[in-house]
Structure 1
Amino acid sequence: MDLGLLLMLIIGAVVIGAAAWGIHRHLYVKQLRERGWTFVTSPSIAVAFGLNVPPFGLGFSRSVDDQVTGQASDGTPFSAFRYKSSQWRSGGYVVTMPLPHSLMEGEVSHGDAPQLRLGDLVTLGPVTASAPDAEYAAILAEAAAPALAGPYRVSVDGDRLVLIDAPKQADQLAAAIETLAAVRARLRASRAMEFAAPPPPSSLSFHRRPSWTYVPRDDSYLELLEHTGGGRNHKAVDIIHSENAGIPFVRLRHEWETTHTRTDAQGRTHTETRRHSEELCEFRTTFPFGDISVNWGLFGAAQSFEWEEFNRRFKVRCPNPRFASDVVHQRQMEWMLAVRAPSFQVEGSRIRVGDGGQWLPDDIDRASQFLHGFFGRVPDFVWQELGAWPRPLPELAGR
């Protein structure tokens, strides 16, 4: 077959496919609007703000698409949208409805719907409920059982009720919305309303870490962290930041490109673009503190302490030997050995911790727990001499 003809056939097939998709989508949106609903092709990620029970509150690369808004037959407003992240993807919608106030997290699933283990499990016929409190889980199961059909799962997520994996087809989506409205009505009439909880996060966050904020992309955060220079198209993505109970942090993935040119044996020049990335995380002090490092860097004399095992395991460097001795006292050394302290450096207001790997949430938790433990064991008189009194972080005792 002639190459030109083949190319024309391929282009024709693509055009026909695109036209068919466009017609199908137009008819689909028309069906939604005929129900009095509103369809938004590219909604803001803000539609997911405050949702923090899985599938929300997990992973990176979070995005939303195709939002449908309207009212159920009982007048309850709803928002349905497609959601995906690095840890969850679905071909259907998540549907949300408001609750009178924020409640303890919980989930109810029917039949073969996937179950999320949030705590104690309670089974009532084909319905299984899960929540941190067994009594609350039983109340959720009893309230939802008569109204919940399968295979759906419904979660209590802050001040919203969420149905997961609603079908996209208009009639089936409408049925799922009515199911959620019926579950909501029964929950509102039950003792579940007594299990109040703090307000949900005001933005994207992480499950059971409501003080953390997730930002899909904001290149300005690169100004806050030391990062690789050179190249072009520098991006900051998958950002996490938090005040973190007095030791704030910023975590992000830095992506950039470099261009490389080479000449082959025939004298021809070839240019290629290489893509690079690095995961970065830095903590900050919110209080005065001296410079000190542990197992960080190769230069500078390490301070010697009266414990050889500690000296073998940890190289402490500090421009003020007395300050190092006051901070790394006997109890501090015992604790650092017991927890296998990571390498770290306090320099000015910056705190860097080693061994973070990809700086996933668990990595951040470990570093944060260590830093709170380290500063929590700094004696009162040190804080007083630093002019940070009352002490900026709670005192911790023991190992």
Structure 2
Amino acid sequence: MDSSAVAILPMLMWILIPALVVVLLVVGHQKAKKRREYLARWAAARGWRYTRSSPHLVSRWRSEPFGRGSSRRATNVLSGDFHGRHVVSMAYQYTTGSGKNRSTHHFHVIALHLPAALPWLQLSPESVGDSIAKFFGGQDIEFESQAFNEAWRVKAPPGQYAFDVIHPRMMERLMQPDALGRTISIEGQDILLSIGGRQREDLIDAYANLLYGIVDQVPRHVWLRVGHDPGV
């Protein structure tokens, strides 16, 4: 390579790299636009509503994955009636770190509206870190089923409430493949399901049915304590 080519190479890099960035931005913008248009058609076809962005949903819940990181966004929000109850599906994201260590975390979140507000309860997959924390005295709610304890980490207010909700039949439901590995939270008048990764509209019905199955297993006496009778 002659000296003239060596001299030109840095100049080409200064031109090509910004051009490549612009191309990627344009392609990403077009892809996001097509995604929004598709979801709007998908929602309309089933009588649901599509909203491009819903900032109020970012602070509506405090359960995982909400309340973490910065630059939080709730986008591509799909909402409507699902077998008589209101369901919301969204793409949720937040960022952590800064500079070269900055990372964006993506989740698909589905919320099913409950007939009455229940005390907070959260189930999340048991991780290696959680197991180590328990070994050194970390506080978690333990149940009689060792298999359930190894699969799930349960957080709830002190007292009997968690044991009333998570009875043997509920444990059996939560040990099914469609439930394992998810994060499930009861918060106020919603039950939430969050899955790491991109939003998948083709799985909304399956996720909503999972939440329905969990709600159906909540005992009547738990509902009665909050003023709702599911038998009426």
**Per-residue deviation, 1:214:** 2.5
1:293 maps to 122
Aligned amino acid, residue 248 of structure 1:
V
Question: Quick one: distance in 1 between partners of 2:157 and 2:74?
Answer: 34
Larger % of helix: which? 2
**Per-residue deviation, 1:237:** 4.7
Question: Quick one: distance in 2 between partners of 1:282 and 1:338?
Answer: 18
1:213 maps to 49
The residue matched to 1:241 in structure 2 has which SS?
strand
The residue matched to 1:372 in structure 2 has which SS?
helix
Question: Quick one: distance in 1 between partners of 2:174 and 2:70?
Answer: 34
Larger RCO: 1 or 2 (CA < 8 Å, sep 6+): 2
CA contact (8 A) 1:291 1:319 kept: yes
CA contact (8 A) 1:250 1:283 kept: yes
Task: Pick the aligned partner of 2:162 from 308, 317, 324.
Answer: 324
For residues 144-166 of structure 1, the C-alpha deviation after alignment (integer angstroms, 9 at most, x for no partner) is xxxxxxxxxxxxxxxxxxxxxxx
**Per-residue deviation, 1:212:** 2.9
Q: How many residues align?
A: 175
CA contact (8 A) 2:75 2:90 kept: no
Question: Quick one: distance in 1 between partners of 2:206 and 2:148?
Answer: 21
Ranges in structure 1 where 5+ consecutive residues have no aligned partner: 1-58, 63-84, 87-202, 261-273, 393-399
The residue matched to 2:109 in structure 1 has which SS?
strand
For residues 240-267 of structure 1, the C-alpha deviation after alignment (integer angstroms, 9 at most, x for no partner) is 12243325314146699xx97xxxxxxx
1:375 maps to 215
The aligned runs of 1:70-219 (5 Å cut-off) are 85=38, 204-206=41-43, 210-215=46-51, 217=52, 219=53
Question: Quick one: distance in 1 between partners of 2:152 and 2:220?
Answer: 24
Q: Relative to 1, partners in 2 of residues 1:278 and 1:391: Cα closer, same or farther, differing over 3 Å?
A: farther
Question: Quick one: distance in 2 between partners of 1:210 and 1:239?
Answer: 14
CA contact (8 A) 2:49 2:80 kept: yes
Aligned amino acid, residue 246 of structure 1:
R
For residues 119-155 of structure 1, the C-alpha deviation after alignment (integer angstroms, 9 at most, x for no partner) is xxxxxxxxxxxxxxxxxxxxxxxxxxxxxxxxxxxxx
Q: Relative to 1, partners in 2 of residues 1:283 and 1:211: Cα closer, same or farther, differing over 3 Å?
A: same
1:225 maps to 58
Q: What TM-score, normalized to structure 1?
A: 0.37
Question: Quick one: distance in 2 between partners of 1:317 and 1:324?
Answer: 8
CA contact (8 A) 2:88 2:112 kept: yes
1:248 maps to 87
Q: What TM-score, normalized to structure 2?
A: 0.59
**Per-residue deviation, 1:337:** 1.4
Ranges in structure 2 where 5+ consecutive residues have no aligned partner: 1-33, 60-65
**Per-residue deviation, 1:318:** 1.3
For residues 90-133 of structure 1, the C-alpha deviation after alignment (integer angstroms, 9 at most, x for no partner) is xxxxxxxxxxxxxxxxxxxxxxxxxxxxxxxxxxxxxxxxxxxx
Question: Quick one: distance in 2 between partners of 1:236 and 1:343?
Answer: 17
1:60 maps to 35
Aligned amino acid, residue 377 of structure 1:
Q
1:14 maps to none
Identical-pair percentage: 21
CA contact (8 A) 1:294 1:343 kept: yes
Task: Pick the aligned partner of 1:343 from 151, 167, 183.
Answer: 183
The residue matched to 2:117 in structure 1 has which SS?
coil
Question: Quick one: distance in 2 between partners of 1:289 and 1:373?
Answer: 16
Task: Pick the aligned partner of 2:200 from 360, 370, 373.
Answer: 360
| Larger CA Rg, structure 1 vs 2 | 1
